[in-house]
Structure 1
Amino acid sequence: MQTMAAVQKQRSIGSIQFLPVNLFAAVMGISGLSLAWRQASKAFGISTAIADSCGMIAVLIFIVLGVGYLTKWFLYPQRVKAEFNHPITGNFFGTIPIAILLLSTVIGMYSERSGQALWVTGTTLALILCVVFVSRLLNGNLEPVHKVPATLVPVVGTLDIPVAGGTMPFPWAHEINLMSLAIGGIVALVYITLIFSRLAHHAPMPPGLTPSLIIMIAPFEVGFLGYTNFEQRIDPFASLLYYFGLFLFIVLFFKVFRKSIPFSASWWGISFPIAALTNAALKYGMYVDSWPLIAVSVLLLALLSIVIVVLFVRTVSMLVNGSLLKG
């Protein structure tokens, strides 16, 4: 009877073997929300309670997903291998080191050494994954239709290294950050070109992949944050990155936010790019000290907060009704 009950329960909530790796994007989005509210607290003199709460939630979700995915890897290694080798889904493994890098900043607010340890771990994983996925690109015989925005995720991971570690005290951190900016910036330019070509010359992406279009703003806004953290200043080049990312977001917003696109775990892919844009807008608005730009940053913070809440509620609903972990 107990065995039958366990089987029935597994059927009702799904199986760990179907845990999607792209759920780690939730950690990225919520961490980004925490960092955005922390910026807002400094800029507008408001409480850090929201930033602290979001940070704790991001840490808890990462622990749960980390344990869950390690369990999947142990019990169903072939499924993990198939997911990693998939030309589209495999790119979302880049969400893991990015999540670690962002958590290094979140946790670093409370424990400097823990933040540094996480940054070293995330940096190592991000650089390794970037090597793997660029190598795949150069193997040849890739289908043009597989060059979707999600292919940017492992690349954006290298740009996040200086975002999280721009002020790391290690004597070698300066060169690692500079190298990461070089790799992420140039490779992102190559990938953006391939993605624009695919979107312009081939059939539209399936509805399930449409939300990932927002990922295209990430190299510009994450690049802005990484570059300004590294340089410790905002110059015209940084401004160009910010403004083009904002322009691209406006163009893509009306293509993504449509009722006809069904909800799935892949929608979490929009959270971190919007979080990067919001953090960049807050930083740039405070630098320029212009009320229209500050207003834009406030609107983006409100949008990001609403998006994260909606994604969280709908994901929990999918988990409860069994559709999230269903094959």
Structure 2
Amino acid sequence: METVSDYNRLKFFPIMMYAIVMGLSGLTITYQKAAILLNFPHIIGEILMYATTTVFIIISYIYIKKFFKYKIAVKSEFSHPVRINFFAAISISMLMLAIIYKENFPTISAVFWYPGTLLHFYLTMHTISFWVNHNQEINHSNPAWFIPIVGNVLVPVAGIGFADLGLLLYFFSVGMFFWVILFAVILNRIIFHNQIAVKFMPTLFILIAPPAIGFIAYFKMFGIIDFFAVMLFNLALFFTILVIFMYKNFIKIKFFISWWAFVFPIAAMAISAMLMYNQNSCIFLLLLSYAMIAAITIIVSIVTYQTVIHIIKKEICVQE
């Protein structure tokens, strides 16, 4: 029989849990690329591939169960000015799983890529329509706004061979355009308005992701390192240095599921550094690659530990 505690925990199971899949996917892809470009053991990436897929299936099962039992709660999240942005974490998780399986299991990759792309297209349109039709408060803006829109840049990363270059460029163009627009909005909020809520402070790491993923997608599509590619890489490097410079903002904050926002952008920077190193063999880029791999490994270890501890204490799926 379902207890009141079980009822509450399922009802308040947050859509932000998909950030865990995004983080683990980033870690998996990092080690897959490290095996190819830096001769890391392939077994690490393989183990992480299956672990990440398992976590995605478990979280999806629980959230689907929540959808059928508590549709009003899901609808409330889908119309929430902040939580709505995290629904795109579902499609982004699918796109990242498509990247994970692309090299060795292209059929499985396609199974994730096509529905993931369609879902992300819908969520992009829905989110922008939501912003247009509902007045947004400046205090609701935060780097999580990048997730549904700038996530479009992920589509070309695994899309080579699945779709025409013109279609991939459509998603790339949309993502890069709204990155610039939303960055201006969020920078305005951060500088001139109230500070970001503590629980969303880790989302500042998301500032690294758009230029880093943009660099990866651009290189995947064209296979060249030109001025535009270098500019994207340098911007990603700048935001990486910036969040390191601001480390005091992060070391004392209370644990929230949003901590997983630390992981995905660091992974994007690590992969970007490895790709750049593979092109020009600069010792700085090699050291940066190792530093980013070490950073993401340590962060995932800490966040995973904290997540498990708070799940055991039943402090995650609770009403805010």
| TM-score (structure 1 length as normaliser) | 0.93
Which of 232, 257, 260 lines up with 1:265 in the alignment?
Answer: 257
Aligned to 2:217: 226
Percent identical pairs in the alignment equals 28
Return the letter of the residue paired with 2:3: V
Between the aligned partners of 1:110 and 1:184, the Cα distance in structure 2 is 27
Aligned to 1:295: 287
Aligned to 2:207: 216
Aligned to 1:177: 168
Between the aligned partners of 2:85 and 2:259, the Cα distance in structure 1 is 15
Aligned to 1:107: 101
Aligned to 1:194: 185
Render the CA deviation track for 1:263-317: whole Å, top value 9, x for unaligned. 1111111211111111111111221201111101110010001111111111111
- 2:306 is the alignment partner of 1:306: no
Which of 286, 307, 316 lines up with 1:315 in the alignment?
Answer: 307
- Unaligned stretches of 5+ in structure 2? none
CA contact (8 A) 1:25 1:95 kept: yes
Between the aligned partners of 1:25 and 1:140, the Cα distance in structure 2 is 25
CA contact (8 A) 1:163 1:225 kept: yes
- 2:3 is the alignment partner of 1:7: yes
Between the aligned partners of 1:8 and 1:21, the Cα distance in structure 2 is 21
Aligned to 2:270: 278
- 2:231 is the alignment partner of 1:240: yes
CA contact (8 A) 1:162 1:180 kept: yes
Between the aligned partners of 2:6 and 2:140, the Cα distance in structure 1 is 33
Consecutive aligned runs of 4 or more in structure 1 exceeding 4 Å deviation: none
Structure 1 residues 145 and 9, CA gap change in structure 2 (3 angstroms): closer
| TM-score (structure 2 length as normaliser) | 0.95
Between the aligned partners of 1:18 and 1:253, the Cα distance in structure 2 is 33
Report the Cα offset of residue 9 of structure 1. Answer: 6.6
Return the letter of the residue paired with 2:307: T
Return the letter of the residue paired with 1:136: F
The alignment covers a number of residue pairs equal to 318
- 2:199 is the alignment partner of 1:205: no
- Unaligned stretches of 5+ in structure 1? none
Between the aligned partners of 1:136 and 1:10, the Cα distance in structure 2 is 32
Report the Cα offset of residue 203 of structure 1. Answer: 1.3
Calculate the aligned-residue CA RMSD, in Å: 1.6
Render the CA deviation track for 1:59-83: whole Å, top value 9, x for unaligned. 0000000000000111011111111
Report the Cα offset of residue 233 of structure 1. Answer: 1.8
Between the aligned partners of 1:142 and 1:324, the Cα distance in structure 2 is 27
Between the aligned partners of 1:290 and 1:62, the Cα distance in structure 2 is 36
- 2:249 is the alignment partner of 1:249: no
Between the aligned partners of 1:196 and 1:85, the Cα distance in structure 2 is 24
Render the CA deviation track for 1:133-192: whole Å, top value 9, x for unaligned. 122233362211112111110012211001121x22x4x431221100111111111111
CA contact (8 A) 2:150 2:178 kept: no
Return the letter of the residue paired with 1:285: Y
- 2:116 is the alignment partner of 1:125: no
Between the aligned partners of 1:250 and 1:148, the Cα distance in structure 2 is 19
- SS of match in other structure, 2:3: helix
CA contact (8 A) 1:36 1:282 kept: no
